[in-house]
Amino acid sequence: MTDPPSIYFTTSNRGKSLLVYSGYIHRLKKSTEKVKYWVCHSDGCLATIHTNKNDEILIADGHHYHIPDPEQIELRNLRKKVKDRIQSETNSIPKIHEAELAQSVLNRVRRKTTPPLPTSADFDIPDFYQQTLNGAQFICTNKIIKKKRMILFATDKQLEVLFSSECIFPDGTFDKYPKQFQQIYTIHGLKFQQNFPCVICLLSGKTADIYRQLFLELNGHATRLKMKFEPKHVMSDFETSLIKVIKEKLPNVIHHGCFFHFTQSLYKHTNSLDLSTAYLEDEDLRLACRSTMALALLPQDHIEEAFELLKNDSPEELIDFFK
């Protein structure tokens, strides 16, 4: 697989965004809800680029009549970094400029040995980046399944910790992840009464099919290591597609909901009911919401009784959601 030219952004002297693609600078001509239209920054050049709202290339049209100018791009990046630091630091301007200039030289040296960042899910991973510093294999799965890329990072030692753990903790983040994927998913295990990250996953979605494939891959690695992936307990958030797959693939496991995600879900639902302002201003409502969140901390045989006591003091919509 050959990765397409990289795309990134810098700024003009007036602080406007400039798109850099294949060594050429483009300025934004216009944008719609779905498409941004860029034209070459050089006067008279008719080359254009269309990107989507995620800044991914849709169309790269036309040929540049001039050669690229990487020195100009590097100079713009240097000016931006210096300007940003001047605005946020109290160090002298000459000192900031000298430090950034030295950093620019070092970055130029590093770029000669570092591959460019990929812009799509169709990319190769050099062998050097598939191993840990001591030479252990770190990428255990790297597949495209039904046009969806899945990459799992874990050494055999990490997998052994996961497969020997009686309790595992899967969780995903949708806030920070490479734009070629849709989430970073981690699975932690317990050893020496401590929580260890065992598998780091780059997933192309959060559907039940993707989670099924994830569990299939883990079971395959367990077989390869002559172990079994049969935890007794799983603690996770309340993502319905994950819960469904856990019931299918780990039918004997005891599934615990995470208390943090439970309270977070209740608070988000409070906001969806337009109760956020009342929550801040009404002490009785705030106490009722917090008491509802605390039900999960009670002994199981006391929860139903406590819930009945709260029903009269809690908003009906919140009680319906909790049921």
Give ∠ CA 288-291-293 in degrees, rounded to 5: 115
Residue spans of beta strands (DSSP E) within the chain: 7-11, 17-21, 24-31, 35-40, 48-52, 57-61, 139-145, 148-153, 167-173, 183-191, 194-203, 233-236, 254-257
74 has a pLDDT exceeding 80? no
Summarised one tens digit per residue, pLDDT across range 239-298 is 889 999 999 999 999 998 888 888 877 777 777 777 667 777 777 777 877 888 888 888
pLDDT digits (tens, 9 = 90+) for 16-42: 888 888 878 898 998 898 899 999 988
* pLDDT (0 to 100) of residue 105: 57
Q: What CA–CA distance (Å, rounded) separates 214 from 170?
A: 11
Question: Residue 2: pLDDT band by 50, 70, 90 thresholds?
Answer: very low
Q: Which of 25-39, 147-161, 169-183, 262-276 has the lowest mean pLDDT?
A: 262-276
Q: Report which of residues 216 and 103 the model is more confident about.
A: 216
Q: What is the CATH number of domain 7-111?
A: 2.20.25.240
Model confidence, pTM? 0.60
Q: What is the dihedral of CA 244, 247, 248, 253, to 10 degrees?
A: 150
Whole-number average pLDDT of the chain: 83
CATH level 2 (architecture), domain 127-257: 2-Layer Sandwich (3.30)
Mean pLDDT, range 103-123, rounded to an integer: 67
- In angstroms, how far is the first alpha carbon of the chain from the final one? 51
The proportion of the chain whose per-residue pLDDT surpasses 70, expressed as a percent, equals 87
Local structure of residue 5 (DSSP, 8 states): P
Is it the case that residue 83 has pLDDT exceeding 90? Answer: no
Q: What is the pLDDT of residue 12?
A: 78
pLDDT at 58: 87
Q: How far apart are CA 123 and CA 3, in angstroms?
A: 5
Q: What is the mean pLDDT of residues 134-148?
A: 90
In tens, the pLDDT along 205-221 reads: 989 999 999 999 999 99
Domain definitions of the chain by residue range: 7-111, 127-257, 266-322
Which pLDDT score is estimated for 1? 46
Distance between CA atoms of residues 8 and 111, nearest Å: 15
Give the span between the Cα atoms of 2 and 12, in whole angstroms: 31
Q: What is the mean pLDDT of residues 109-138?
A: 79
* pLDDT of res. 103: 65
